[in-house]
Amino acid sequence: MAKVMISLPDDLLAQVDAVAAQRGLTRSALIRECVDAAFDERTASLAARMRALNAEVSRGHGGDVVADLKASRATLDR
């Protein structure tokens, strides 16, 4: 496992330490959990947006595209 250094404001580090102690974790373990949860949440949010967009697209525009296309071609042929 790689080691990294990060800089945190003192008040945030105090919160990290307090929550880590409360949960019986190290700083590193708590920060790993938080980053992992944030990535999972982002992935779930993006997937939900994609499902919503897909549902919107699959509904179509509510018309008969083929009939509209044929009608527009018929007016051009005149």
The predicted-structure confidence for 13-65, as pLDDT tens digits, reads as follows: 999 999 999 999 999 999 999 999 999 999 999 999 898 888 877 766 666 77
- What is the value of pTM for the model shown? 0.62
Inside any domain, residue 5: no
Q: Give the residue with greater pLDDT, 74 vs 11.
A: 11
pLDDT of residue 54: 83
CA distances from 5 to 2, 8, 28, 30, 55 (A): 10, 10, 11, 15, 43
Instruction: Specify the DSSP class assigned to residue 66.
Output: H
Inside any domain, residue 18: yes
Inside any domain, residue 3: no
pLDDT of residue 62: 63
Inside any domain, residue 33: yes
Inside any domain, residue 30: yes
Number of domains present in the structure of the chain: 1
List the domain range (segments joined by +) for residue 72: 10-77
Inside any domain, residue 29: yes
Inside any domain, residue 35: yes
Q: How far apart are CA 32 and CA 24, in angstroms?
A: 14
